[in-house]
Every structure is written in C-alpha cells, then in structure tokens.
Structure 1
Amino acid sequence: MTTYSIAIREGWPMCAWRRLSIALLLSTAPSGLFPALAQEIGNVDGGTWLDTVTVVGTRTELAIKDNPRSVAVIDEKEIERRPADSIAELLRDVPGVEVADESIAGMKRLRIRGESSRRVTILVDGQEITDHSTYGTPLLIDPAAVERIEVVKGPSSVLYGAKAIGGVVNIVTKKGADKPIQIEAGGTYSSGSRGWQGWTAASGSKDGFDYRFSVSADDHKNRRVAKGIYSATGELDHTTFNNRNIYGHLGYRFGDSDNHYLALKFEQHELESEGRPTALPPNTQKFLIDLPKRDRRKVGLYYDGDDISETVRKIHVDLYYQTIDRLFRNELLASPMPIITVDSTSTSDDRITNYGMNTQVDLDLLENHKTIVGAQYLSDSLTTRKTSRTVTTIRPNPPPPPLIRNSYDKAHIDTFSLYAQDEWSLTDDLTLISGLRLSHIRTELDRTTEAARAGWEGENDTQLLSSLGITWRPFDPLTLRAGYSEGYITPTLLQLFSTSTAGGQTIYGNPALDSETARNFEIGARYEDNGLTFDAGAFYTRAKNYIATAPCTGMGAPVGSCLGAGSSVYVNADRATTFGLELLAEYEFGNSGFAPYVSGAWIRRELDYATFSTYNSDTPALSGRIGLRYEGDWHDTPVWADVFVRGAVANKQTSLDNGRLVTEKLPGWGTLNLAFGGSYGENDRLSFSLNFNNILNKEYRATFGELPGTGRSIEVTARVKF
C-alpha cells in the first residue's frame, strides 16, 4: 500500500511526476471513503445500523458494513428524540468526537480524535462553512432544519479538500413532505439554562415540486451547574446566548423518468452570545468577552441527474454564495505591578465571503468498477477591521491619553481542485477503494493599512493527496477493513496576514506559513449476527507543520512588523501523533425490545512542540457512554426509554508559561442520565421526550476546551405535525 503527498511551490521535480503517476495508477482501483456508524441503536428498515447507507462518505451510496472508513450517522428519528441547543450536542456520543465551545456559550464546535475544531471540515448539504479564527468553525445551523448528519473521522482531504485533517461533518437539511401541505411545530424547555427553543415549518410536494419553509428561535440564560470550584452559586455568569433562524427549500423533479432534480436553498442564522474566561489571567480584575453578532447567510443551488446513460450513472452540480458576519469585543482591566494599571478594550468586526462550485460525475467505465471524477472551486475571503484602545496608568501619575490602534485587512484564498475515486470489486467479498485529489491554492493579501505588510505577496501551494482502502468479508456476518488516507489544511487568512489583539496580547500573521498535513492508517471490523452488532476500529495518525505562536524576539524580515513586549507570531513549529481504538456495539435480547449498548474511544495523543513534547493534550484517554435502551409498544403506542452513564477518565493539559512547563488536570467524571418518550397518532403526529440529565448533580468539566457541564436538569420536548 503506497501513497504520496507532495507540496509544490516553484517548479515540479521529476520525482514528483513519478509520484503523480503512481497515485494515478492507484486511483484506477477503488472508491468509497467514509463509513457510517449509526447512532440509532436498533433496527433500520429491518436491519441494523450497519445496513445504513451513506452518501457523503464516498460521494456514492454505500452501506456502513461495506465502507473502509470510520463514519457516524445521526438520522432524523434520533434528532427528533434528542433535544439540543446545537448540532454539536447531537454528536457528543459519537466515539472519538468531542464538543468544544472555547468558553463561548452557544458557539459549539467539534473536535475529532483530539484534532482542534480548526482542522475539521463543516459542510451543509456538501457546501463548506469557513471560519478564519484560532478556534475553528462553529456549527451555525438550526437543528430543526436538519434531516441527517454524517461524520467522517480521520484525514479526509481526498474528497473534501482543506481542513479535513480531523475529519468531516456533513449536515443534510430537510426537503418537502410527501403530501401537498404539512404543518409542523415544536418546542423545548431546558431547566439547565432556563432556556427555550421554538420552531414551526410548512412543507409539502405536488406535481414534481417540493418545498419547505421554517423559522425558529431560542433564548438561554446563564448555565446552571453543581456548586463547587466552578461556581459558588450554582450559576455560570456570562453564559447567555440566543439564536434566530430562517430556512427555505424549493425543489423540482422533472424528466421522462423523473430522474432530474433541481433545488434552491436559503439559510439565515443569527447568534448572539457572551464569553466567560475559564480562568482569569494573573493580576486581572476584569476580563469580559462579548459576541453581539455571529451571523451566517447562504444561498445554494443544486442539480442531480440519475441514470443519464449506460456509462454515466449520475451527474451532480452545486454552487453557493455565503457570508458570515461576526463582531467581537474584549475588555481587560489588570495590574501587572502594584503601581501599574492597564485598561484595554479591543474589537474585531469581520466579514467572511464564500462562493464556490462542485461538479461530480459517477461513471461505469469498466466492469466491476464504480468511478467518480469531480472538479471543485472555492473562493474564501476575509475582511477585518480591528480597533484597540489601551490606557496604561503608572501611579501616582494621572492617566495618560489612550493609545488607539486601528487596522484594516482584506485577503482571500482561491482553491481549485480535481479529484477522482474508484471502487473496484475484485471478488464478491473483496473490494478495493482508492482516491486522488490535486489542489492548487492561491492566497493573496488584497489590502492592508499596516505599512510593514504592504509589500507582502501571495503564495501558491499545490497539494497532491491520495487514499486507499480495502474491505473483505471472510464470512457473511463479519467484514474486515483497512485504509490509508491523507489530509491537509491551509493556514487561515488571519494566520497569514492579520494582526489580532485581545487580553493585552498581540499576535501577528506570517505569510510564509506552510500547510499542515496528516497521514492516517486504520483497521477495523464490523459484525452482526444473533442480536449482536458492533463496529470496532483502530487508527494511527501522524501530522506535521502544525501552526503555533512564538515570541517575536529574533524574528526576521518575513514578519518584520512583529514587535513589542509580549507579542508573538504564527509559525510552523508543532507535530502530533495520535493513535487509539473506537467501539460502538449493542446486543438485543431476542424480541424483548431491550438492548444494552456501549460506545466509546481510547485515544492517546502526543503533541511535539518546538521545545517540549507531551501526552497531556486535553484529550481524555478513555471516554464514552454505556446504557440500556428499550423500544416497544405500550397500549399500541410506540414508546422508548434510555438509561445511560456518560463519562471520561482524568484529563491533563501541559503548556509552556513564561519558560516553564505548567500542567493542569481535570478529574474523571461520570453522569447518570435517563430519557424516555413516545409518539401518538398516524405517522407519529404527536411526539414527546423527557430527559433527566446529570441526575446525581455531578460537578464536572469534560475538557479544557469546554465550559463546566450543566448540573441536574430536565429537558422537555414536544412536536406536532398535521
């Protein structure tokens, strides 16, 4: 199994052509990339979750049990049963996935296999949400508009391009109902935040047309937690947030065989949130974070044509235009010395603009081969206006005039990609899947008010990436899999060109940064027979050129504007090695409706920094969920129940602070939870669920990247459709 990843800047040496030739040869073998592990415990259309068919994983339809990669699927039924204030909460129990909010309530992100959220690609209907921040892409979409979520774990850039070092999350939105008109409404109340969520939708289909229009809103107060080290009152200050959403879909099916489909979608998401520092910097009297605006708007157009000819199985084209507006405000009042007071306020007003297009053709070129080829373009631009106001008072002198700094930057990244993938059925039980992507990335600083950066020129980077996977069924209930995949992420425009100030610290961009890259190996097994179903896998990932910050002292011409005490600059300095095991399993006791289950991950992640290395990487070594589910009928009414424990072992994080290593520790934790619900009427006209969370009122914090967990609370959800 041989694959290659090369970066091309000036010229292309002969060895690179050899690598390209070998990669092209491999790409004529397989397809399929991303397996699916359904979170739904129980039967799916008469089978188990191993029979669930995924599309985003391979960009072709493929059942979980036949897939060479690790994928999780959350279907519509599971989404309706689990009240959530964000999409991220629906994915919390997927093995290898962690939720992070970076101290900003309501702005949740996903980490996969320990990789930061910045290294995870977030797609909505296959179209990317970008985010030029240190923390990564928040999931800015209404859960009530979502039909299905698929997660691909591990480097996945062959089909999905940049940012897919940790994995890919694709969120599929709803279409029209299967009758002319259907009205739906629902709501949730959560005692953990004294918060509510409400939504309503109208949808339907007739004469080839289908449509859906929905609106939703929510409002959450400060989070309630168990009394202890995180809160003496049982309430976390500065954790309020609210969302407003509008979603629209219009589709039309046409053709002699109804094999052509056009769809137009519109999304608008508005978020307002507060931020809460998990720990105040030394000698700090005030540290406030406010995010009065984090808004996303998108228009997408889609075309799918099926069974075009004997050779062309499918044609897919989509294009979109998207804007993200965000406003950030930080206030700091500190006394680094008894006679010195620093009062600083900084703001950042940003707009991200995306537009792009993807074209894919599914082909039957050779016997026992399923081939796809595609081309993709993405334009990603950032406009940022930053202001800082600082007053440094040295007593007993009167306060001096404030030092005010204003800056404006505009930059963009253009990415052009070609990709191919082939699924080759060597025998009835042995399938080989391979893929290849060639991407050319152009970054450019369009405009800046910083004289030191005015002469900076853009960069060209070319990435050639490949993947290879195999599945083998030695006997019918068992499927074995193995695979290799590559991922990369280009530096954000902020890391390349912008200057950020917060908390009295300044970080400068560096246009000489290289892309981060990763290589991943996986093996696994899937089995289903006699009531037992499981999916287990092991993985090993090596990543390099991680972007970190370094003190400005000693920096040269490429970052000549980097100066000032306490200032730093982005550099390629770090590496990571991650390995682990993931498991999802259940056993159904005959036809009783009872099924014990377990899901979890054991992960070890070593970070190799410029001056030290550590396994204390804010990734718990062992985390997961174990429980017992029931699904059946009570007086001819479908009901379900689930009692489970969710938890993790102790978690550590080591960092360098003023030249010395500092290790922080979070204790292990576990919460006892109970959920039950049911439905009534034709087509589940009325449904409800009741969730008792953290019944024992456990005080805990899952990771350093997340706020302390909610204490004992109740969530009530109801929905009706007619």
Structure 2
Amino acid sequence: MTYRMPPFRLKPDYVALSLVHGLLFCTAPGLAATSAELPLEEVVVTASRVEERLLDSSASLSVMTREDLARMTGSSVADYLRDVPGLQVSDSGQAGLKRIRIRGEDSRRSAILVDSQELADHSEVGTPLTIHPDMLGRIEILRGSGSVLYGSKALSGVTNLMTLKGGTAPLQATVKGGYDGTTGGDTLFASVHGMQDGWSYRLAAADSDHDLRRTPEGRAENTSFENQGYYGFLEKAAGNHALGLTWDRYESRSDIFVEEVARSTFPLVDLALSTPQRDRERYALDYTWEPASAVLDRLLVSAFTQDSLRHFVSNTETVWYRRDIDTRSTLRSDGLLLQADWLPWGRHRVVTGLQYSNDEVRQGRQVDTLSWTPIASTGTERINDKASIRTLAAFVQDHWALSDQLTAIIGARYYQVDGELDRSNRPGLRAAPLDSDSHLIASAGLNWSTGPGSALRANISEGYLYPSLMQLATGAYAGSNFVNPNSELTPETSINYELGWRFMQGPWTVDAALFFSDSSDYIDHIFCTSADNCLGPTDKVYRNIGSSSAHGLELYLAWETADQALQPYVNFTWMQRNNDFGSFDTWDTGIPALAGRAGVMLEPQLTGLWQTLWADLYLRGESGSLLLEPGARGLIETKRSGWATLNAALGV
C-alpha cells in the first residue's frame, strides 16, 4: 500500500491499491526534467514535433515517463502536475475539473493536447484536463510560448498528454483500484492490451466517484464530483508505414464550491453553481511513413474530430431579483495536420507543416428571472447561438548544427483566422462574419553543449492568442450579469525570453531556467458604458484592457549518494508578475512569489521481495499572495495565506 500523510496528521489521507503493479506511488520531485529511471542525457522528448534528447532542447521542458506516472497518486491528471516548476493547479471551485496555469498566465492561455491534438475550449476559465490519469503513458510540459509549433492557445506553454498504446505480448491485462480518504472517493481502472504480427491494441475503462472534501473545519459543501473514462486504440505497422485509430470518451459531473464571502457580497444574497455535465468524445486517425530517403525523414498525417458537451447551471439571488440560468453547449472541433520532416543538408533537420482547425459552438441558454424591483423584469428568456472559428496555419522549424557543440533552432508560423456568428436570437446581436486576422510569429534558440551531461541554452519565442468564441460572438454570464461579446477584439500577443542550464555529472543533477515574458492586449470584461449600448444596467463587455509582464527562476537540484540509495532534492519556482490595467498597474497579481517542494528519496536497493522498496519524505508549500483587480466600486482585494505540508510516501 501507499500511505500519504496529510499535513501534520498521522491518519493516512490517501490509500491506493494496484492489483497488477502491487502499488501505486508518488514520484519524488515531479521532476523538472528527468524520469524515475533515465538519466538526464538519455531522456527523449517530442516537444519540437520530432524526437530529440532533452539535453539538446533549447526550451524549458518537464517530462513524466510511464515510470514516473506509476509512482503518483491523485484524483486527476492535474494532481500529477502540481510539482512541475512554473505550474499552478486551479479548479475554479470545480473539484473534478482542474486546470493548470503556466508561469502565472490564465489557464486559457496554454494549450492542452492529447496525443498532440488540441483539447479545444472556449470558456473563460480555460481547458480542464478531461482524461483519466491511468490512460496516460507519458506527459510533456513546455513552459514558455509554443505557438510556433502548436498554435494559438500555446501562448504560455503546452501540456501534451500521451495515451498508452499497445502492449508487449499478444494478451495482457491491468486492473487497479484506489481509495482517497480526503473525499471518501474510489477509483477503478481496467485495461486489456497487446501486440502481435504488427497489430497493437488497447481497450480501457475507468470510473471515479468522490464525495465532499474533508478539511480541518469539516466537510466542504459542493465539492463532490464523479467521472468515467473510456479508451480504445488500434494500430497496424507494416514496414515503414503505421496507421492508427484512437477513440476516447470522458464523462463528468462536478459541484462548484463558492466561498461564503463571494455568495453574500452585496448585492448578492446567495449564489449556487454546478456543472451537471462536462463530457468529451474524440476520434482520431494517425498515419506515419518513414521512407528510406536521404531527404525526407518522416511524413505524418493526423486528423481528429471531437465533441465537447457542457451543461452549466447558475442560481443567483440578489436584493433585487432571483435569476436561474441553464446553459447547454456543444463544441465540435475538427483538426488536420500534415507534417514533413526533412534532412536537406548534412547539418540541418527541418520540420514543416500545414495545420487546419475548425471550432463550432452551438449554445442554448434559458434565463428565468423573478424580480421584485424595477432593476430587472420578471420572465423567461431563451437564447440560441451558433458561432465558428476556422484557422489555417503553416509552420517551419530548422534545427541547424552550427558545430558539434552548438545548435541553432529557428522557426516561424503564419496564421489565417476567420470567425463567424452564424446565428443568434439575443437582442443586440446579429449573424455576421467576425473580424479575420493574419499573423506571423517566430522563435529562435541556441543550445550549447559545454561538456558531457552539460548544456547551456537560450530561447526567444513569440506567442499569439486569437479571442475565443465566447469573447467574440456569444458572450457569457458572470453570476447574474451578462458579459457582452465584442467582435472587434484584438488578439493577445507575447514575447518570451529564457536562459537555462542542464547539468548531470557524477552525483549532481541541475535543471535551471531564468525567464522573462511580456504580454500585450489582454482581454478581460469590464462594466459597460453608455457608448456600448448594453441592454442591462449591470452588463459587462469584453475589452482589450491591459498588459502583463513576468520574470522568475525555475530550479530542480538533486544530489545522490554513490550507491544511489539516498537522494536529497529541491524543486522550486520564484516568480514576480505585474499586471497593467491602463488605469493602474500592480505587482499584486495573486501569484505566490515562492512555490515548490523539497525532500529526501530513499531507495535502499534490497534483494528479494523488497528490491524495489522506496520511501519519500518531503515538504510542499507556497508563500502567501495578494490579488488586486478593478471592480465596479474600486479595487477588489483577495488575500491567500502561505502554506506548507509535510508528506510521506512509501512503495515497492
């Protein structure tokens, strides 16, 4: 069994059982760069859309291999990522729909991929990680803009969730079960997989059900959630050709926790939110050809179609009226990637690609209002919208070995984006094309191998984020206030600078990165003015209102004894962020200045049954933070206290 101690308590907070592996357990550092089994110089990554050694990459990367994932516990994929440098996990009150923030940017400014295919989402709070963790065999996290290779959403980074594929024998099976004492939750997972005569396959299913979360003050209301996951994979490899089909489905329901102060702040009397449905289903086809050619190294064709269903319920009571809002939406996402990898000259490796995506939202919203004042009218409003965004992009990236020690990486991407509000019966909106946009961005990097197991790197990358359909076309409710769309919004842009050092020699492992980012044309919602012609007196509207800059240090440092039995480690992020809203700017942005983990991993390397025994004792925590934002009646201040937890993990 694996026992994870809650902060300064002796009662086990998490107990997990694995019927196949014997144990589920938690990884030591959540590693800045390495896996549990491989030394730094042997880790291979695909964040540049081709395989390369991590030591040869100029980007800030974290990798979790299958061995790392097997050492982790948690109720969601986001829990596995909480110790990655530069990442924060948030759930917007939705315990079962956690999201990640990279280097302090909002979740919607980072790309979430499954098998390098985007999980599209046009909501205000960003893309939830809607896949069961036991379905995954590898995770790669790129920190800093990945827009050149991965598109608009990758302004602050990319998280690529790679699913398990076939097995190593004709017929294999896995069964797992887990129990979470924090929520009284249980998880079941089963998989049948195999490989024979060039065929690989896998069928898997998972079910999780979690009750109210336990806290020192008792059970927290509106924190229960449940989800189910299903996965199918079939691939045929013949010579230098491979054709694969993938299907995955995720079904979830989540309550939403709203703090008491938010529920009762004037003019609110009560506020209740829930997500009865947050489902996703994806079908994908991948074809790879690796010809025996001196020029063309690989040809990849990847296509997918995906439906995301969202049901959101808001029940609001103010001193003036009661309003119940029921929103149901379907997002259809279609994507196609054509990629060719070239070896045109001896010291060049060139990646070229064409990428097409089409996102279409169909949304129905029913608003029931009971008013006892003239502020609002009693009645029922039914609104139906349909809107779409089409993106065509071409990209190229050249890996140029200037010498045996120095490599330059230069890339560019050109976007052509078109949107349309196809229909809407909301007063004030009419069907019409949205502003189209074309944009060219670039990136450049250097990687210098200073010796065996050591490399210095530098990187400059631009980011680009086209507004979402919610911001451009359909709008959304924030509590009982409608936020009007704005078809004239300007895309958000950023530029990211990095310096880094990776080192693994003798007992030492170091992965360090200094970064600075500058972002412009931030989109947020503000209260309407008379010039906006909004319908409601408390309505808001989306605007390009500000900019942001951030700088910081990400560090993973470890040392191990000669027999590799004992490994102290530290893994932390120091970061400062400034938000400029035009009328005022502030360094109080809700981002903790310090966050990280420090501990000691013990692997005594015994014999027999206990040969894989390990133990990990560590502290995890972050400093306090203050958030200042503009509000209707001045600045809104939100304080969060610092915290630290003592944790222990044991496994074989």
Residue by residue over 1:94-147, the C-alpha shift from the partner in whole angstroms, topping out at 9 and shown as x without a partner, is: 000000100111100010000000001011001111111110000000111100
Question: Counterpart of 1:251?
Answer: 235
Which of 415, 426, 433 is 1:450 aligned to? 426
Contact residue 409 and residue 449 of structure 1 kept, 8 A: yes
Higher relative contact order (CA 8 A, sep 6+): 1
SS in 1 for 2:648: strand
Q: Give deviations 1:515-568, integer Å, cap 9, x for gaps.
A: 101000100111111210101010110000110112211334xxx4x2321111
Secondary structure of the equivalent of 1:158? helix
CA distance in 2, matches of 1:584, 1:505: 44
- Corresponding residue number in structure 2 for 1:121: 111
Match 1:273 to one of 248, 254, 267? 254
Does structure 1 residue 671 correspond to structure 2 residue 650? no
TM-superposed deviation, 1:39 = 5.2
TM-score under structure 1 normalisation?
Answer: 0.84
Shift of 1:86: 1.0
2:339 to 352, 355, 360: 360
Q: Tell me, in whole angstroms, the C-alpha distance in 2 between the residues paired with 1:675 and 1:40.
A: 21
Tell me what 2:465 maps to: 489
Matched, 1:303 2:287: yes
| 1:90 partnered with 2:80 | yes
1:449 counterpart letter in structure 2: N
1:634–1:584 distance in 2 versus 1, CA, 3 Å: same
In structure 1, distance between residues paired with 2:292 and 2:243: 15
Deviations 1:419-476 (A, max 9, x none): 0011111111011011011110011111111342215432210110100000112333
Worse-superposed segment, 341-350 or 417-426: 341-350
One-letter code aligned to 1:416: L
- Partner Cα separation in structure 2 for residue 305 and residue 172 of structure 1: 20
CA distance in 2, matches of 1:585, 1:310: 41
The answer to whether structure 1 residue 474 and structure 2 residue 450 are counterparts is: yes
2:133 aligned residue: 143
Match of 1:410 among 369, 386, 389: 386
2:33 touches 2:511 (CA, 8 Å); kept in 1? no
Query: What is the correspondence of 1:208-607 to structure 2 with a 5 Å cutoff?
Result: 208-227=198-217, 234-255=218-239, 259-278=240-259, 279-283=262-266, 284-335=268-319, 341-394=320-373, 402-454=378-430, 456-556=432-532, 560=533, 562-607=534-579
Work out the CA distance in 1 between the residues paired with 2:343 and 2:630: 55
State whether structure 2 residue 621 is matched by structure 1 residue 647.
Answer: yes
Work out which of the residue numbers 25, 44, 60 in structure 1 matches 2:37: 44
Task: Verify the 8 A CA contact 2:300 2:340 in the aligned structure 1.
Answer: yes
Q: 1:477 to 1:147 in 2, by over 3 A?
A: closer
Q: Are the structure 2 counterparts of residues 470 and 595 from structure 1 closer, same or farther at C-alpha, using a change threshold of 3 Å?
A: same
2:274 and 2:313 in contact (8 A); partners too: yes
Change (3 A) 1:425 1:294: same
Q: Look up the equivalent residue of 2:126 and give its one-letter code.
A: G
Cα shift readout 1:159-179 (whole Å, capped 9, x = no counterpart): 001111110000110111110
Runs of 5+ unmatched residues, structure 1: 1-36, 228-233, 336-340, 679-722
Deviation at 1:64, TM superposition (A): 1.4
Q: What is the aligned residue count?
A: 619
Instruction: Say whether the 8 Å CA contact 1:388–1:501 is kept in structure 2.
Output: no
Query: Are 1:240 and 1:274, in contact at CA under 8 Å, matched by a contact in 2?
Result: yes
2:366–2:383: 8 Å Cα contact kept in structure 1? yes
Identity %: 33
Instruction: Answer yes or no: is 1:163 the counterpart of 2:170.
Output: no
Aligned residue in 2 for 1:608: 580
In 1: Cα distance, 2:501 partner to 2:644 partner: 28
Kept in 1, the 8 Å contact 2:434–2:472? The answer is no
**In 2: Cα distance, 1:465 partner to 1:554 partner:** 37
SS at match of 1:510: coil
Counterpart Cα distance in 2 of 1:58 and 1:367: 19
For residues 95 and 302 of structure 1, the distance between their equivalents in structure 2, rounded to whole angstroms, comes to: 32
> Structure 1 401/413 Cα, relative in aligned 2: closer, same or farther at 3 Å?
closer
Alignment check: 8 A CA contact 2:145 2:154 kept: yes
Question: How far apart are 1:400 and its partner, in Å?
Answer: 10
Query: Is the 2:36–2:67 Cα contact (8 Å) retained in structure 1?
Result: no
1:38 and 1:504 mapped to 2: Cα distance? 43
TM-score (norm 2): 0.92
Kept after mapping to 1: 8 A contact 2:33/2:61: no
Which AA in structure 2 matches 1:591?
A: D
Amino acid corresponding to residue 645 of structure 2 in structure 1? T
Shift, 1:206, TM fit = 0.7
State which drifts further: 605-614 or 303-312: 303-312
Where 1:105 maps in the other structure, the secondary structure is coil
Give the Cα–Cα distance (whole angstroms) in 2 for the partners of residues 582 and 499 of structure 1: 37
> Which residue matches 1:692?
none
Residue in 2 aligned with 1:662?
Answer: 636
1:54 aligned residue: 45
Paired amino acid for 2:245: L
1-structure distance, mates of 2:506, 2:433: 63
The answer (yes or no) to whether the contact 2:453–2:504 under 8 Å persists in 1 is: yes
Contact 1:616–1:653 (CA under 8 A) maintained in structure 2? yes
Are the aligned partners of 2:257 and 2:273 in contact in 1 as well (CA < 8 Å)?
yes
- Corresponding residue for residue 122 of structure 2: 132
SS at match of 2:58: coil
Q: Deviations over 1:148-202 (max 9, x none)?
A: 0000001110000111111000011011111000011001101000001001000
C-alpha deviation, 1:41, in angstroms: 6.1
d(CA) in 2 for partners of 1:118 and 1:43?
30
In the aligned structure 1, how far is the partner of 2:377 from the partner of 2:388?
A: 36
Give the superposed CA RMSD: 1.8
Amino acid in structure 1 at the alignment position of 2:364: R
Matched position secondary structure for 1:453: coil
1:264 to partner: Cα distance = 0.3
By how many angstroms is 1:63 displaced?
1.2
Counterpart of 1:268 in 2: which secondary structure?
A: strand
State the 1:634 CA deviation: 3.3
Q: Structure 2 unaligned segments of length 5 or more: list them.
A: 1-29
Structure 1 residues 271 and 43, CA, compared in 2 at 3 Å: closer, same or farther?
closer
Q: Distance in 2 between matches of 1:464 and 1:666?
A: 39
Aligned-pair CA distance for 1:635: 3.6
8 Å CA contact 2:588, 2:625 repeated in 1 = yes
CA displacement at 1:378 relative to structure 2: 0.4
After superposition, what is the alpha-carbon deviation per residue over 1:189-236, rounded to whole angstroms, capped at 9, x for unaligned?
010000010010000011110100001101000111122xxxxxx111
Q: Matched residues in 2 for 1:362 and 1:480: separation?
A: 26
Closer, same or farther: CA 491–109 of 1 in aligned 2, 3 Å: same
C-alpha contact (below 8 Å) 1:368/1:426 kept by paired residues: yes
